[in-house]
Amino acid sequence: MHGRVTTLLAWGSLLGLSQAACPYADSAQLGKRDEGEASDPLAKYKIDDSDGYMSTDAGGPMEDQASLKAGARGSTLLEDFIFRQKIQHFDHERVPERAVHARGVGAHGTFTSYADWSNLTAASFLNAPDKKTPMFVRFSTVAGSRGSADLARDVHGFATRFYTDEGNFDIVGNNIPVFFIQDAIQFPDLVHAVKPRPDNEIPQAATAHDSAWDFFSQQPSTLHTLFWAMAGHGIPRSLRHMDGFGVHTFRLVKEDGSSKLVKWHWKSRQGKASLVWEEAQIVAGKNADFHRQDLWDAIESGNGPEWELGVQVIDEDKVLAYGFDLLDPTKILPEELVPVTKLGVMKLDRNPTNYFAETEQVMFQPGHIVRGIDFTEDPLLQGRIFSYLDTQLNRNGGPNFEQLPINMPHSPIHNNNRDGAGQTFIHKNTAHYYPNTLNKGFPLQANQTVGRGFFTAPGRKVSGDLVRLISPTFDDHWSQPRLFYNSLSPVEQQFLINAIRFETSNVKSAEVKKNVIAQLNRVSHDVAVRVATALGLEAPAPDDTFYHNNVTAGVSTFAPNGTLPSIKTLRVGILASTQAKDSLAQAAQLKEALAADGLVVTIVGETLAEGVDQTYSAADATGFDGVVVAEGAEALFGADSKPSPLFPAGRPGQVLIDAYRWGKPVGALGSADKAFKSAGVPVDGEGVYGETTVDALVKGLEGGLARFRFTDRFALDE
Ligand code: HDE
């Protein structure tokens, strides 16, 4: 090794590099390594190209901007190892995208335990107050491919990894607490039905097509998840404004082996908020990266999001006590029956350095569990334990993906697994089997009593005849979608119905549409009638076996009159004019006042003159949670305002009216309130603030932003 450094140093001096500038001067490593923060366990893997010469993968300095040719005009020579290596590496840059959840975004963070929870679990990351555990999280949509849009209506993945001091623990959850099916063997059917048609690959990232609704209506276990996805949960305002759920029932196991059943919850400290469908559709076209940009920006600006980790704890003998089977992943356990105990908080505070190395290569598995946690017999969970490892072998082409930096546990690894493609460990132990005497029996077996090993809850008992069926205790598919529907506000019910209308109006098959109405009718006659009317169909008579009037709290994303816990990082657009005197000065004043309260403010003008952040040609209401008009800009709104070649006709008024129609707070300062009239915004409406001072406008608008959406602006069915 010493010899290699000397040779490289000699190269450095030949090339005229000073010893300090030579990348190899202080290390025999491949490139200059990033010093990184001491707290960043990935720092030692990071390559910093801020100085040094280009080298081949084999480490020799070289130039790579022209291929080696026989004469200036070609041909290129086979001998050109520099060309071959560069092109070959490029040819192999992609790995298969995830079969589902292909589009995602990741971030690093930390989990802090609130207490010593050894009364519940032997898991070490929960065994002391203030104990900190590094985390990596990946959010995703399910159906779309890696290049699809963030705002497709979909269930969202919420995959979390704890790098605990006793191994990696993953909760690979979703933002919806239930799932479509009850047995993993049906997963390929679900995914085939939901993904684009096999003949023309249409539609991308959407369920608005025949096969999806054919499956939904033939497989009523899907109805509950479908209802959540058709409501606001399918189109969250941001990834920060959604909760996460483990979905299955798991077990927490104490040191003594006693266990309880648990449901995992991640409760957003930002609150829950959703877009409305029309704006989601526009965003999907205009800004495919809406969610990933939002998360990135929030973290970069020091406003990293937080979620509290909670559990509903249930005695083992209560598995069938609540009127359904806790092993059935299509059911929620209402918090009125079992409240959530908050165990700690996760904060995301660091963006990845390299998307591929971290977000694309992170491999979550429900099978990554640690001492103190155990599975249940939920047949969906059982199948997932197999599937993730299997698909990751396919994605990575070999069994050593756990050695990739983002997957490496932060605890020591000792076992007798060896070799395989991409092996990076250099094992010294030549007795790589157990039992052995040649290595004094090491590595030793760890279990419940020695070595703090993982152990299966000793109280678990399973027995039974071999049967290929789904348990009759999983049979009721209609009561809980109804519970969900009953618990929404009237406007949210309307949104859900409108979403089903939109999706099923794209369905061509009359039979599928009829089957959908029949299933909806088992949940609610009201829903069936309202969807059927829009489709020009008749709903059948009420099918009331599962009808009830129960409700549960906490399922809304547009709580009427509810407020968000914080308005920080919400976005405000100030519509100004570069041509009107003082308009930009007033806009700047407003911006300063709003930004001081943590809002992200954009001043919009005709051109990117000084003080303007965005032009009207680029701006639209989907980019803002609230819109304000500064004096002077009203001249751009009126019926007699002149068309401008700088932006599409009518755009300033469109921003204002769209913001209003989508329920957002809107404001105007002084004479700018004329803009309300020109754009057709009712001046006296709730959430409409025409004020004469900056202070009053800021106060009004911020109150409106906390309400988030004024839902009385949306039309309801008669
Ligand atoms: Fe997944 N799922 N899934 N899933 N899932 C995958 O694993 C699978 C299910 C979830 O950000 C795949 O590594 C089966 C429920 C998330 O990397 C694959 C079944 C829940 C992610 C797979 C389910 C999820 C995945 C594709 C039915 C919520 C993205 C790539 C039994 C509790 C993780 C991969 C990330 C990814 C299989 C159902 C969540 C194919 C067979 C229920 C968040 O293995």
- What is the band of 18 on the pLDDT scale with cuts at 50, 70, 90? very low
Going by CA atoms, what residue is nearest to atom 18 of ligand 1?
388
**159 CB near ligand 1 (under 6 Å):** yes
Annotated catalytic residue within 127, 168, 174, 175: 174
* Number of residues written out for the chain: 718
Say how many Å lie between the CA of residue 100 and the centre of ligand 1. 7
**174 CB near ligand 1 (under 6 Å):** yes
For position 505, what pLDDT does the model report?
Answer: 97
Going by CA atoms, what residue is nearest to atom 34 of ligand 1?
388
pLDDT tens per residue, range 235-256: 999 999 999 999 999 999 999 9
Concerning whether 174 is annotated as a catalytic residue, the answer is yes
**364 CB near ligand 1 (under 6 Å):** yes
| 11 has pLDDT over 50 | no
pLDDT tens per residue, range 538-571: 999 999 999 999 999 999 998 767 899 999 999 9
Say how many Å lie between the CA of residue 656 and the centre of ligand 1. 41
| 22 has pLDDT over 60 | no
Going by CA atoms, what residue is nearest to atom 40 of ligand 1?
99
**367 CB near ligand 1 (under 6 Å):** no
- Which among 508, 539, 520 has a CA at the least distance from the CA of 227? 520
pTM of the entire structure? 0.94
Given ligand 1 and candidates 155, 172, 291, which is best to mutate, with the most ligand atoms within 8 Å of its CB? 172
Backbone torsions φ then ψ of 161, nearest 5 degrees: -120, 130
For position 467, what pLDDT does the model report?
Answer: 97
| 278 has pLDDT over 80 | yes
Concerning whether 549 is annotated as a catalytic residue, the answer is no
- Which among 63, 74, 449, 498 has a CA at the least distance from the CA of 276? 498
What ipTM was predicted for this assembly? 0.98
| 640 has pLDDT over 90 | no
Backbone torsions φ then ψ of 174, nearest 5 degrees: -130, 170
**388 CB near ligand 1 (under 6 Å):** yes
**304 CB near ligand 1 (under 6 Å):** no
Going by CA atoms, what residue is nearest to atom 6 of ligand 1?
100
Mean pLDDT, range 307-323, rounded to an integer: 98
* Residue 16: how many other CB atoms lie within 10 Å: 7
Going by CA atoms, what residue is nearest to atom 19 of ligand 1?
384
Q: What is the DSSP string of 613-675?
A: -EETTT--GGG-SEEEE-TTGGGGTSTTPPP-TTS-TTHHHHHHHHHHHTT--EEEEGGGGHH
**482 CB near ligand 1 (under 6 Å):** no
CA distance linking residue 147 with residue 102, whole number of Å: 8
Mean pLDDT, range 316-345, rounded to an integer: 98
Give the rounded percent of residues in the chain with a pLDDT score beyond 90.
91
Looking from the CA of residue 139, the nearest atom of ligand 1 is 11
Say how many Å lie between the CA of residue 166 and the centre of ligand 1. 24
Given ligand 1 and candidates 95, 97, 98, 100, which is best to mutate, with the most ligand atoms within 8 Å of its CB? 100
The DSSP H or E segment spanning 107 is strand 104-113
**513 CB near ligand 1 (under 6 Å):** no
For position 217, what pLDDT does the model report?
Answer: 98
User: Do β-strands 614-615 and 600-605 pair in parallel, antiparallel, or remain unpaired?
Assistant: parallel
pLDDT tens per residue, range 30-56: 455 555 566 788 999 999 999 999 999
pLDDT tens per residue, range 54-84: 999 999 999 999 999 999 999 999 999 999 9
- Across all residues in the chain, what is the average pLDDT? 93
Say how many Å lie between the CA of residue 159 and the centre of ligand 1. 9
